[in-house]
Structure 1
């Protein structure tokens, strides 16, 4: 088993994505039957993990693969099952398609599992079990129905098989939180920004990150958020994206070492015109911005993305100046920001609107400038099918308790 897992890990380290393996081989799928209860594996986030099992006697559509595994469709990617657990379908046995149309597209809805979750062959607890989904998964739903007891069932597809999960065993996915931070200071040095909502204490930030680690959260890149929104990748249930706007020096001084210690990653949305040529001496009473070397020094944790070039300002009425600029001015600024940030990242594909301000011109310019997604300061989570240029985020304030944080980011509908 260890040798086989190492083979899988080497595939992904070498850059072969799970979603592309089936398409690369272009081999016809064949139906095979499990001879015993069989563990199944798939890539979830950055890791190849055990994602559940299939019971003996179940039929799956699989594709021959290298080593000792077959591949099959699992969610938005590829699953793997040991060849020793499968045999050709005997006689005239075939997959029954009476449960629905296997060819219909996936919806923009997922379920999330918090425990090992039973999967059934019909929307009935007394039906034959198909297998189990592991805890901490998001899995695409085809449709929902209510049984005679008014219980909701989720229809899913695994290896070209239709199967069912009870809403008593799993929840609907209410979205992934993107957390927003700006400035971090020690309490004793924060004499100027104590009452600004965008300044977080070092103690609060450290406690919040420790809580995420202790609760088993995975931190996501914006590339993964894009894959989630576009229904392209499998992600864990406990997942969060961490973002910092502006590019302040406190990010490299305080946020970076904490995130690095916990093995987390984050996104830094940088105002490209404010990058310093040389690091500045630390002065907590001022708003200082990172230098070229400081930005390069945090890139093992932070992905560098755009917070515009010259548009991060307000007018005399305290409104973002972006709202009064023409489409062509906004487009030029967005393009300039992408060019200037290319020294840190050749894939500047994501934008944070200054002060969360946007209008039709800004949205069109973001798309035309080559951005794939843009985030706002509108409160909420992101879900598949959301407008990619109007993504919501969440603030966790320095005064928020960990109970408040848990309530904000948990899988509950946002009011």
Structure 2
């Protein structure tokens, strides 16, 4: 009995020594018996290091520096991979190896590298952090040290998604490898400007500036975008950028029109087409049937709407998106009627709406008003983005269903417009 008692004291003493941290293991390395599960499990307060070495079956190592391409309509060079830097291959075809730049597929031409099983350093956690803009060719280092070797190079004039920041460094990934960008070499991306237009008429015929822009102001604004070599985006491209799956030009903009007004056909369509730009129209589909015949635009008359036939004629410039079918109405208290509906009722309306809009991936909330029922219905309907009328840039930190826009009317000066698209307008 005495021997058992002494053994018990020794066990308790050993346990206390381990837990107190005096022993070599401490609590972090101690193993405990879980009576309920009936098994021993390891308990640890240590997390996995942020960068670890892991083995992959197909790792590419180049013998010479090679361009990295993203694939849109054509291949676009977005960087260069240095020789001797191993990266993981996810797929290949006859001519190219496919890698991952963040979440995006990119391509390196075959023929100047070796492929073998290898261990490489990888990040254990990748967050949706944001993006950076390059004003010049930018070095990405192996480590967070300016004297460390160059891993790859980024092209001038693009927005690249980064997954983390550490002190004076942003972290980007290529082929599962982390690369380090010094903050002094890039600027943090404020986000993409999304412009919102409604009605448009000649300045001499304007009776109000509410939701209305003059033709003269619009033409000056679009001319500026052309002069500054902006790229106009599709809604899908904006979504891919927000998800970190697309490298965008630094000078990129999404142009949107709400309500599907005939004035956009009369005035905006030819101006946009002249410059080779595209735009998005958010359509209230119940109003497509208001006009029974071909319409002549009347700048002095009541508001006129596009027809289903117009949507076909204008599709070379406009992409048509959701704006509800019958929910673009106000109550007596100036609240959108959809704000009092259930998710199911909004979803039913959106189903009708997008039936007439094949390819729609976004919703502009009526009057910019939305709540949880609206966002849930949009998700359920398969729509990827929800546009508000809250001013600011579309960025990777906000929800995809609370995308900000800049409303354009004749109350805005040209200087304000230029600040919006140039990315210098402070976020409200």
Give the shorter-chain TM-score range: 0.7 to 0.9
2:379 corresponds to which of 357, 367, 371: 367
Deviation for aligned residue 1:372: 3.0
- Is the 1:277–1:292 Cα contact (8 Å) retained in structure 2? no
- Is the 1:278–1:292 Cα contact (8 Å) retained in structure 2? no
Report the equivalent of 2:201. 185
TM-aligned CA distance change 1:316 to 1:212, over 3 Å: same
Q: CA RMSD in A?
A: 2.5
Query: C-alpha distance in 2, partners of 1:111/1:29?
Result: 31
Query: C-alpha distance in 2, partners of 1:32/1:309?
Result: 52
- Is the 1:213–1:262 Cα contact (8 Å) retained in structure 2? yes
Alignment of structure 1 residues 292-371 onto 2, 5 Å = 292-325=308-341, 327-339=343-355, 341=356, 345-371=357-383
Query: C-alpha distance in 1, partners of 2:377/2:120?
Result: 49
Report the equivalent of 2:41. none
Alignment of structure 1 residues 385-396 onto 2, 5 Å = 386-396=398-408
Q: How many residues are treated as equivalent by the alignment?
A: 369
TM-aligned CA distance change 1:29 to 1:173, over 3 Å: farther
Choose 1 or 2 for highest CA Rg.
2
TM-aligned CA distance change 1:31 to 1:405, over 3 Å: same
Gaps of 5+ in 2: 1-55
Deviation for aligned residue 1:410: 3.3
Report the equivalent of 2:292. 277
Deviation for aligned residue 1:154: 0.9
Deviation for aligned residue 1:216: 2.5
**TM superposition outliers: structure 1 runs of 4+ over 4 Å:** 325-329
- Is the 2:90–2:100 Cα contact (8 Å) retained in structure 1? no
- Is the 2:102–2:245 Cα contact (8 Å) retained in structure 1? no
Report the equivalent of 2:409. 397
TM-aligned CA distance change 1:298 to 1:107, over 3 Å: same
* TM-score (normalizing by structure 2): 0.78
- Is the 1:42–1:74 Cα contact (8 Å) retained in structure 2? no
Query: C-alpha distance in 2, partners of 1:359/1:69?
Result: 46
Report the equivalent of 1:128. 149
* TM-score (normalizing by structure 1): 0.81
Aligned-partner SS, 1:308: coil
2:138 corresponds to which of 117, 129, 134: 117
Q: Does 1:85 align with 2:112?
A: yes
TM-aligned CA distance change 1:400 to 1:300, over 3 Å: same
Report the equivalent of 2:391. 379
Query: C-alpha distance in 2, partners of 1:249/1:320?
Result: 23
Query: C-alpha distance in 2, partners of 1:35/1:261?
Result: 46
Query: C-alpha distance in 2, partners of 1:174/1:241?
Result: 15
TM-aligned CA distance change 1:59 to 1:184, over 3 Å: same
Aligned-partner SS, 1:281: coil
Report the equivalent of 1:143. 164
Report the equivalent of 1:65. 92
TM-aligned CA distance change 1:119 to 1:306, over 3 Å: same
Deviation for aligned residue 1:385: 5.2
Report the equivalent of 1:107. 128
Which whole-Å deviations, capped at 9, do the CAs of 1:163-204 have from their partners, x for residues lacking one?
11111111222222221000111223x2433x32x1111121
TM-aligned CA distance change 1:47 to 1:174, over 3 Å: farther
Deviation for aligned residue 1:103: 4.0
TM-aligned CA distance change 1:366 to 1:75, over 3 Å: closer
- Is the 2:324–2:366 Cα contact (8 Å) retained in structure 1? yes
